[in-house]
A and B are shown apart, each in its own frame.
Chain A
């Protein structure tokens, strides 16, 4: 085999077993539908102990990554980012962990409105679901992109954090809050209950838009046939 070939070829989906595949894809589809239309409807999924945080990965992909955004804007997210490799203030690290629905609702309203495309562009999303026996639940990770379709309902950057936001944005003043596409990685820790599910933990990484790695770009024919994903996502029409 070539030394320039990863032994573990990239696949778009992994579900540890067939039982959690449909339920996790249903969950993600429904969740993001509400996220795009009315986030407050999601607050019932969280308990007072549930945790939510955003992490901004502002590293710019190489220009040789297809469609990569070389001038991304994170102005709406930076004041909420809990990326501990960038945020040195322990007070900020603690404050940016939202505990319970009330704290989450403030963050939900402070970041841009979005549109995901799971239904019309399912190939642009990748998902892994693994059981989590310590909580009798499972952990779902989704990778993909969303469009920023509108300014936040509550723009906290127009208040006291405006100066700080500029300082951490490397001088992109006027473009801080440009609405564009973003790539993301989102992880839910889900605990089934008798009648539904509870989200015990949710972490969202927002990063510059870039074409995803799991879609085969047009090019040379691969030397070996590609195996099919174990289970395609079930998307409601």
Chain B
């Protein structure tokens, strides 16, 4: 038994990292039907979502804006740490990652955002789906979750989600200001 009260520190660390990776994977998902799956890991009662220091009243409003207003993304995890807060049944995650955006002129669903597609023109899988990635932005993410997430229970566990971009490349088309 570890100092932090973890019965199995090893598996808990691995579960913690896998949970964070799952969150990032959801952020990159381009399938609208997966939205409810992502939403299911946010606590339905008063979850706090802050993106770039902008608060969202509900996780749903953030996720809908993310899904509809942002081009395809790719997150890469660079650092994870977490603390179990004694007596609170909660865990604080401190995460760093980087994110890049599809700058190939397509919206998240892979449709050309500026040119009307010629329906007669055959679209092979390559030119329809391959993103043209820009440079990476840096991201700092803090989450407060319920402790049961470390027992592989991720249903409704996210209590606070604080996602902020911390550095930006000069050669990206993406405007964050």
| Chain A residues close to B by CB (< 8 Å) | 1-14, 16, 49, 51, 53, 55-59, 61-62, 64-66, 68, 82-86, 90, 93-94, 97, 99, 126, 128, 130, 132, 134-135, 139, 141, 143, 183, 185, 187, 189, 200-201, 203, 205, 207, 210-214, 216-217, 222, 226, 229
**Nearest chain-A residue to B16 (Cβ)?**
A84
Which residues of B118-177 are within 8 A (CB) of A?
135-138, 140, 142, 144, 159-160, 162, 164-177
Q: Is the CB of A10 within 8 A of B169?
A: no
Q: Is the CB of A62 within 8 A of B177?
A: no
In this complex, the interface size class of chain B, counting residues with CB under 8 Å from chain A, is 35 or more
The answer to whether B50 has its CB under 8 Å from any CB of chain A is yes
The answer to whether B3 has its CB under 8 Å from any CB of chain A is yes
- What are 7 of the A-B contact pairs (CB < 8 Å)? A4-B71, A10-B52, A11-B53, A94-B2, A99-B4, A205-B94, A213-B165
Count chain A CB atoms within 10 A of each CB in B3, B48, B136, B174 and give the residue with the most: B3
Q: How far is the CA of A229 from the CA of B80 in the complex (A)?
A: 29
* A-B pairs with lowest CB-CB distance, top 8: A11-B53, A57-B79, A14-B53, A7-B69, A203-B94, A210-B167, A90-B10, A10-B52
Pick the residue among A49, A94, A141, A203 that contacts B162 (CB under 8 A).
A141
Q: How far is the CA of A203 from the CA of B107 in the complex (A)?
A: 36
Q: Is the CB of B92 within 8 A of A49?
A: no
**Nearest chain-A residue to B11 (Cβ)?**
A90
Q: How far is the CA of A226 from the CA of B92 in the complex (A)?
A: 32
Q: How far is the CA of A141 from the CA of B4 in the complex (A)?
A: 22
Q: Is the CB of B83 within 8 A of A212?
A: no
Q: How far is the CA of A185 from the CA of B163 in the complex (A)?
A: 12
Q: Is the CB of B94 within 8 A of A11?
A: no
List of B residues within 8 angstroms of A55 by Cβ: 79-81, 94, 96
Which residues of B51-108 are within 8 A (CB) of A?
51-56, 62, 65-66, 69-71, 76-83, 85-90, 92, 94, 96, 98, 101, 103, 105-107
Q: How far is the CA of A87 from the CA of B164 in the complex (A)?
A: 24
Given contacts A84-B16, A85-B17, A128-B50, contact A97 B165 (CB under 8 A): no
Given contacts A84-B17, A94-B3, A126-B164, contact A203 B92 (CB under 8 A): yes
Q: Is the CB of B70 within 8 A of A7?
A: yes
Q: How far is the CA of A82 from the CA of B2 in the complex (A)?
A: 15
Q: Is the CB of B88 within 8 A of A135?
A: yes
Pick the residue among B16, B92, B98 that contacts A189 (CB under 8 A).
B92
* Chain B positions 17 through 57: 1 when the CB is less than 8 Å from some CB of chain A, otherwise 0: 10000000000000000000000000000001011111110
Q: How far is the CA of A211 from the CA of B168 in the complex (A)?
A: 8
B14 → chain A closest CB, angstroms: 8
